[in-house]
Amino acid sequence: FLLLGRWRKKHLTYRVLNLPSTLSPSRARAALHQAFKYWSSVAPLTFREVKAGWADIRLSFHGRHSPYCSNSFDGPGKVLAHADIPELGSVHFDNDEFWTEGTYKGVNLRIIAAHEVGHALGLGHSRYTQALMAPVYAGYQPYFRLHPDDVAGIQALYGKKNPEAEDEEEEIRLSTVSPVTTKPSPMPNPCSTELDAMMLGPRGKTYAFKGDYVWTVTDSGPGPLFRVSALWEGLPGNLDAAVYSPRTGWIHFFKGNKVWRYVGFRMSPGFPMKLNRVEPNLDAALYWPVNQKVFLFKGSGYWQWDELARTDFSRYPKPIKELFTGVPDRPSAAMSWQDGQVYFFKGKEYWRLNQQLRVAKGYPRNVTHWMHCRPQTPDTNSLPGDVTPSSTVTILDTTPSAADLVLD
């Protein structure tokens, strides 16, 4: 799935501005209601229909040209509908289509509406041709269900549906009493924070962790911040270490005396487990592609771990300086990156190691270089590329999600 944006609230209104002539109003309205229900059944979203006035999401049918829409339609077939990404809210259907429900004839309004509402909620097109969010209409399906990729996408944006939280939200709406929520840790500034962990994850994505938040690092700077538990369900914040192994496809997260294993964003059965054979409260972890082993760091020592074989840890921990020359003890984070180099992070500095595993000349450097943050000048508070606390606030909903409440 691809994410295009998100609403900063989870309780949304919608309004049906007009209906197609090919379906009875009650049938068409039921199809549109069901389209919203697919999403609200897997994510902590609620949708309330309004019959007048402004609505967050507005559904309408128009022909080839509309004075209210700059994107024309093209008659029967071809383009069926289009929608705007958050937080715009327009959802338009081609009035020239033969909209139907409960039959293989024509175009199923419920399924197309669910697809377009997916866009309105922030989902882009999926590469899974069987997913609802695939760009091409796959035809009427009497027992339609969301594809796992659709579910993963919407939950990456809004978190997972929690039955208890749903009840709680219902009560809140009725009584207007504010819920007692556990506050997340302060939102870090990626350009100035000290890190908990770093990881070169699946598909070459670099993840940085701090407190309850995680973000990706790209050539153009830090990406938007997400709650850790919104991406990896069941994972707490304030991690000690994180490491992804391309050898096994496993991601291991360490915190205290526990280890979590995920494949992608799904926790493996039986986890979290107690960390038994290495010391708790690790500092960092990395995967070294040269020998396909995971290295765990604590204090001045390290353990070398083979994920697929019973490792004899009796000769560990060994001194870090024996293998990685010039790196600090008690690193905050470590990883081998896609350029083939090994990096260590501590405080606001990072070290790069050369092929002989010695610290390269010119290091340590400031983490702002790593994050691709531009330096701030005294008269400029928000340079392009900077992620200032104020700009991140606009991206994120800081309200703890239902999943967070359970975890906390």
- 110-123 in b/e burial notation, b at 16+ Cβ within 10 A? bbbbbbbbbbbbbb
Q: Which stretch binds another protein (CB under 8 A): 60-68, 121-129, 313-321, 350-358?
A: 121-129
Toward another protein, which CB reaches closer, 87 or 279?
Answer: 87
**Tally of CB atoms within 10 A around 375:** 10
Q: Is 88 in the site for another protein (CB under 8 A)?
A: no
φ/ψ of 352, rounded to 5, equals -110, 140
Instruction: Based on the shown chain and the rule CB under 8 A, indicate whether residue 129 belongs to the binding site for another protein.
Output: yes
210 by DSSP, 3-state: which? strand
Q: Does 141 bind another protein (CB under 8 A)?
A: no
Q: Which residue, 124 or 256, has its beta carbon nearer to another protein? A: 124
2-21 positions binding another protein, by CB under 8 A: 2
Per the listing, tokens 């943050």 go with 373
Provide long-range contacts, Cβ within 8 A and 24+ apart, for 383-388: 385/220, 385/221, 386/191, 386/221, 387/189, 387/190, 387/191, 387/221, 387/222, 387/225, 388/189, 388/191
Stretch that binds another protein, among 15-23, 130-138, 234-242, 280-288 (CB under 8 A): 130-138
Q: Is there binding between residue 78 and another protein (CB under 8 A)?
A: yes
Catalytic residue among 49, 87, 101, 116: 116
124 scored as a contact of another protein (CB under 8 A): yes
| Contact status: 39 vs another protein (CB under 8 A) | no
CB of 114 to another protein, least distance (A): 11
Identify the burial level of 227 via C-beta atoms within 10 angstroms of its C-beta, where 0-12 means exposed, 13-18 middle and 19 or more buried.
buried
Q: How many CB atoms lie within 10 A of CB 337?
A: 15
Question: Measuring CA to CA, which residue among 295, 345, 344 is closest to residue 317?
Answer: 295
When the beta carbons of 52 and 136 are compared against another protein, the nearer one is: 136
With respect to another protein, which residue has the nearer C-beta, 144 or 288?
144
Pick from 53, 67, 136, 274 the residue near another protein by CB under 8 A.
136
The interaxial angle of helices 109-121 and 25-40, nearest 10 deg, is 40
Mark 91-110 with x for binding to another protein (rule: CB under 8 A) and - for no binding. Answer: ------x---------x---
What is the closest distance, in whole angstroms, from the C-beta atom of residue 134 to another protein in the complex?
9
CB closer to another protein, 117 vs 333? 117
Token reading at 173:
């709406």
220 binds another protein (CB under 8 A): no
Task: Return d(Cα 126, Cα 25) in angstroms, integer.
Answer: 31
Q: Which of 355, 374, 358 is nearest to 366 (CA)?
A: 374
User: Stretches 77-85, 225-233, 252-260, 303-311: which one binds another protein (CB under 8 A)?
Assistant: 77-85
Tell me how many degrees the CA angle 66-67-71 measures, rounded to the nearest 5. Answer: 50
Binding residue for another protein (CB under 8 A) from 6, 58, 110, 119?
119
List the one residue from 73, 209, 226, 303 that touches another protein (CB under 8 A).
73
Among 25, 75, 102, 135, which residue sits at the site for another protein (rule: CB under 8 A)? 135
Taking CA 232 as the corner, what is the angle to CA 119 and CA 226, rounded to the nearest 5 degrees? Answer: 60
Q: Tell me how far, at minimum, the Cβ of 80 lies from another protein, in Å.
A: 5
Instruction: Choose one: 133-141, 185-193, 314-322, 379-387; the region binding another protein (CB under 8 A).
Output: 133-141
Per the annotation, the verdict on 97 as an active-site residue is no
* Smallest distance, another protein to C-beta of residue 7, A: 17
* Contact window for another protein (CB under 8 A) among 73-81, 234-242, 283-291, 296-304: 73-81
Q: Roughly how many angstroms between the first and final C-alpha of the chain, as a whole number?
A: 29
| CA–CA dist 44, 234 (Å, integer) | 16
Q: Which residues pair with 262 in a beta bridge?
A: 251, 267
Q: Which amino acid is at 144?
A: F
Q: Candidates 114-122, 163-171, 350-358, 389-397 — which segment interacts with another protein by CB under 8 A?
A: 114-122
Question: Where on the chain is the footprint of another protein (CB under 8 A)?
Answer: 2, 71, 73, 77-83, 97, 107, 112, 115-116, 119, 124-125, 127, 129, 135-137
The residues assigned a catalytic role are 116
